[in-house]
C-alpha cells in the first residue's frame, strides 16, 4: 500500500485538540495551548478535555466519538492529542482504518498515542510522533519549530544528528515505533504497524531496567527485531531502580545497549525523543534513512504533501 501523506497545515489553520486517553491537567495544558494558538487556531471542548471518568477523559464511547469527530471535521487541518496516559487501547479496535484514509490529516501525539499512530500506519496514512499539548509548552524552541516544520512542509529534512553509534551502518525504511511499553502491547494484534524492513524507534518512561529487558525479550521472541532494518532509541526517563531497592541491577541504558547491541543491523542511541526535556517530532510511517555510523536520522520525504 502506497503511503498517503495528508496535506500540509498552513499557519493560521484550524486544528482539533482531543483527549482520547487520560484526563488533561489544566495548568500543563494552558501553556501548550497558548503556544499552539500562536501558530494555529486550536478548537477543543474544555469539558471533554478536563472531565475525568476514573483514569480516563470520559467513557470509551465518548472518547471514541470525539476522536472520530475530529478526524471527520472538514475544517480541522490536523489533530493534536492533548495528553497521554492510558485509554487508547480500550477503543483502538473501533478506530476505522477507512475513516483515517478517507479523511487524511496529520495526527500528532506520542506515549499512549503510539496506539493511534500505529493505527494510522496500518491504514497507510502518515502521522507525526510529537509532543502532546501538555508537553508542548515546556519544550525548547528548536523542538517546537521542528514540529511546525513537519506539519507545514513536505521537504525531506534532517531529523536528528549527534546520535551515538551502537551498531554502525546505514539503512532505510518506514519509521515506526513509539513508546516501548505501549508498542509491545500491539504484538499479536491487528494494530501492529508494518515492521518488515522498518526503522524502529523507541523511548520509555517509568519502567525499571528488568522490565525494559522483558519488553525487548517480547519483541525478540515475536520476531520484530529480526525483521527491522535498523533501530533508534530515544530518552529513558525515570527508568532506574529506586534507591531503596536491594536488587542488583544494570542501569536502564546498559540494558538497552546489551539488548540492541546483539542486532546485526544499524543501531543508534540518544535521539532527543520522549518524555524528558526534549521531544523532537518524527514523521511516522514515512521513509527515513538511519546512518548509525554518522549518527544521523534523515527523513527521505515529508509527513505532509
Count of C-beta atoms within a 10 Å radius of residue 296: 17
Whole-number Å distance between alpha carbons of 60 and 56: 8
Cα 305 from chain centroid (whole Å): 20
Q: How far is CA 223 from CA 175, 217, 227, 296, in A?
A: 17, 10, 6, 26
Instruction: From residue 148, give the alpha-carbon distance in Å to each of 59, 77, 84, 126, 152.
Output: 31, 13, 20, 15, 6
**Do 304 and 156 form a contact (C-beta atoms < 8 A)?**
no
In angstroms, the CA 103 to CA 141 distance is 30
> In the block, which residue shows the cell 511499553?
181
Residue 297 exposed, middle or buried by CB count within 10 Å (0-12, 13-18, 19+): buried
Tell me the three state secondary structure of residue 114.
helix
Query: SS3 of 49, please?
Result: helix
Do 21 and 113 meet the contact criterion of CB atoms below 8 Å apart? yes
In contact, 23 and 56? CB cutoff 8 Å: yes
Which residues are known catalytic residues?
A: 111, 203, 275
Contact 57, 113 (CB under 8 A): no
Amino acid at each position: 500500500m502506497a503511503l498517503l501523506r495528508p496535506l500540509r497545515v498552513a499557519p493560521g489553520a484550524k486544528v482539533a485538540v482531543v483527549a482520547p486517553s487520560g484526563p488533561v491537567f489544566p495548568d500543563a495544558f494552558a501553556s501548550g495551548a497558548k503556544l499552539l494558538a500562536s501558530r494555529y487556531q486550536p478548537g477543543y471542548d474544555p469539558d471533554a478535555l478536563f472531565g475525568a471518568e476514573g483514569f480516563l477523559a470520559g467513557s470509551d464511547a465518548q472518547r471514541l466519538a470525539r476522536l472520530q469527530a475530529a478526524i471527520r471535521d472538514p475544517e480541522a487541518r490536523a489533530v493534536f492529542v492533548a495528553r497521554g496516559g492510558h485509554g487508547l487501547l480500550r477503543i483502538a479496535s473501533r478506530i476505522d482504518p477507512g475513516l483515517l484514509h478517507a479523511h487524511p490529516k496529520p495526527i500528532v501525539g506520542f506515549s499512549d498515542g503510539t496506539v493511534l499512530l500505529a493505527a494510522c500506519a496500518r491504514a497507510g496514512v502518515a502521522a507525526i510522533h510529537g509532543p502532546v499539548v501538555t508537553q508542548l509548552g515546556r519544550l525548547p524552541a528548536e523542538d517546537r519549530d521542528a514540529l511546525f516544520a513537519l506539519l507545514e512542509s513536505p521537504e525531506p529534512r534532517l531529523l536528528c544528528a549527534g546520535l551515538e553509534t551502537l551498531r554502525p551502518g546505514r539503512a532505510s525504511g518506514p519509521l515506526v515505533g513509539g513508546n516501548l511499553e505501549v508498542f509491545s502491547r500491539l504484538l499479536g494484534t491487528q494494530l501492529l504497524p508494518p515492521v518488515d524492513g522498518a526503522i524502529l524507534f523507541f523511548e520509555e518512561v517509568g519502567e525499571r531496567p528488568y522490565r525494559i529487558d522483558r519488553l525487548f525479550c517480547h519483541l525478540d521472541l515475536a520476531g520484530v527485531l529480526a525483521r527491522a532494518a535498523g533501530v533508534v532509541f530515544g530518552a529513558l526517563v525515570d527508568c532506574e531502580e529506586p534507591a531503596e531497592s536491594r536488587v542488583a541491577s544494570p542501569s536502564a541504558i546498559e540494558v538497552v545497549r546489551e539488548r540492541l547491541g546483539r542486532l546485526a543491523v544499524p543501531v543508534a542511541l540518544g535521539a532527543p525523543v520522549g518524555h524528558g526535556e526534549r521531544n523532537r517530532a518524527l514523521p511516522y510511517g514515512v521513509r527515513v534513512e538511519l546512518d548509525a555510523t554518522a549518527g544521523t536520522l534523515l527523513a527521505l520525504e515529508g509527513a505532509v504533501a
